[in-house]
Structure 1
Amino acid sequence: MADFDNEELSRVRQWWAANGNALMIGVLVGLIVIAAWGGWNWYQNRQAAAAADISAQIEGALVNGAIDDSVVEAVERLENDYSGTPYATGAALGLASAYVADSEYDKAMPHLDWAVDNASEEGMRHIARVRKARLLWTQDDAEAALTLLETDHPAAFDALYAEVAGDIHAARGDREAAHQAYQRALDALPQDTPRQPLQNKLADNAPADDAGAGSEQESASAS
């Protein structure tokens, strides 16, 4: 038995001599990876918590209608230091909306641009792009707005893009283009979404022939 034990021990020593270094390296690498992953998660959680605190302060100020230097600095801090969080995008969009409400369009645009380029969530990026298109339209640059709305986007956002395009066409008096855009928006609208507002826009911008036919039908029904 002692000879057998000694033989087994000798084999273990030989195996360790041949493989021990590689095994230790593998263990160390595994521990480093685990530690790094845990550290990264801790860092992300810390970043998110800090961003949430700053965002809450910004939201409170904007609700009260205050756009002072401290609010602008807080938004820019989120954009610069916490760009990977949704709080940064939300703050950029919130400040842009506040500027638009005050007709300070030139101050709003950089924050919409930032959101389009840096939003961490796809949905927020498309909301920012559509709002930028509306702002371009407000600034009398309808062509740039329509070009922006032609940007490739997932089908889930078709209704959002098409409705704004329809609004722009309608404002320019292009009833046919507006009607087509509103129809695309209506077709893409989720079934559980209220449809009446879009249907009203669609009817208001029906091509002249369709509108005339509708009027004749209403007159015939009345008689």
Structure 2
Amino acid sequence: MAAHLDLEEQEQLEQVKAFWKRWGNLITWVITLALASYAAWQGWNWYERDQANQAAAMYDEFERAAQAGDVDKASGISNDLRSRFAKTGFTAQAGLQAAKLQFEKGKADAAQQNLEWVAEHGNLPEYRDLARLRLAGVLMDAKKLDEAAKALDGVTATEFAALVADRRGDLALLQNKPDAAREQFQKALAGLEKTQDYRRLVEAKLATLGVAVPEEAASAAK
């Protein structure tokens, strides 16, 4: 009996050897690849968390500078975020806020550059569209009307449709096209909720173009 078991075990051992000889290298490579992939995934997650933590710390510093109205410091931190952590949401947010502060401080060119960067490289479509909307306003203020129109053409999110129409109305006024402006403002008004305060501004614009609006909007237009 023992001899029979030894023979059977020997046969099984030979089968295992043959199997491993045929498939051993492949199995080893598959296991190695799986382990390497897991390690890389873990490493990437750690890297992303570390990057996000560093970006968050810099963004806190940026916000303090922005709230203090220190445009130079805020701009410098925004640029650092852009060079070191370009793919984080903190960088896009800082770019949008830095542009607002720069524009308010009379640095329109710097604001335009920030908005152009976010419009091109922002990590989310919403940030990119918001940057294009604001960029259009900066370009219109600089009388760069064709560039402003192109910026508005790039906005694709449906939730911004009413704001895009409002901007197009402003652009049409600058181009001395009151009929086109009226059409765009009416489109903007139709796309805004009745509870939104922004409606009053659009209604006021329509009032100046001779479109009947509620009394409070007419008063705002005056």
Residue 144 of structure 2, aligned match among 119, 141, 146: 141
Q: How many corresponding residue pairs? A: 209
The whole-number CA distance in structure 2 between the counterparts of 1:157 and 1:136 is 18
- SS of 1:65 mapped into structure 2: coil
Say whether 1:14 aligns with 2:18: yes
Instruction: Output the TM-score relative to the length of structure 1.
Output: 0.83
Seen in structure 2, the aligned counterparts of structure 1 residues 92 and 147 have a Cα distance that, compared at 3 Å, is same
How far is the alpha carbon of 1:195 from its aligned partner?
6.8
Range with greater deviation from structure 2 (99-108 or 21-30): 99-108
Range with greater deviation from structure 2 (36-45 or 103-112): 103-112
- Check conservation: 1:182, 1:201, Cα contact below 8 A: no
Aligned ranges 1:15-164 → 2 under 5 Å: 15-68=19-72, 70-151=73-154, 153-164=156-167
- Check conservation: 1:170, 1:205, Cα contact below 8 A: no
**Which 4+ stretches in 1 moved above 4 angstroms?**
190-195
Aligned ranges 1:162-173 → 2 under 5 Å: 162-170=165-173, 173=176
- Check conservation: 2:129, 2:157, Cα contact below 8 A: no
- SS of 1:58 mapped into structure 2: helix
How far is the alpha carbon of 1:109 from its aligned partner?
1.4
Say whether 1:174 aligns with 2:177: yes
Q: Map Cα deviations across residues 148-192 of structure 1 (whole Å, 9 max, x no partner).
A: 212362333212211111133345553321221123223444687
State the percentage of identical aligned residues. 26
How far is the alpha carbon of 1:6 from its aligned partner?
1.9
The whole-number CA distance in structure 1 between the counterparts of 2:189 and 2:16 is 74
Seen in structure 2, the aligned counterparts of structure 1 residues 104 and 194 have a Cα distance that, compared at 3 Å, is closer
How far is the alpha carbon of 1:9 from its aligned partner?
1.7
Q: Map Cα deviations across residues 72-109 of structure 1 (whole Å, 9 max, x no partner).
A: 32211111110000111111111111111112112211
- Check conservation: 1:183, 1:202, Cα contact below 8 A: no
Q: Identify the residue that residue 216 of structure 1 maps to in structure 2.
A: none
- Check conservation: 2:171, 2:181, Cα contact below 8 A: yes
The whole-number CA distance in structure 1 between the counterparts of 2:112 and 2:200 is 28
- List runs of 5+ in structure 2 lacking aligned partners: 213-222
- List runs of 5+ in structure 1 lacking aligned partners: 212-223
How far is the alpha carbon of 1:203 from its aligned partner?
3.9
Instruction: Output the TM-score relative to the length of structure 2.
Output: 0.84
Seen in structure 2, the aligned counterparts of structure 1 residues 41 and 96 have a Cα distance that, compared at 3 Å, is same
Q: Identify the residue that residue 214 of structure 1 maps to in structure 2.
A: none
The whole-number CA distance in structure 1 between the counterparts of 2:181 and 2:36 is 59
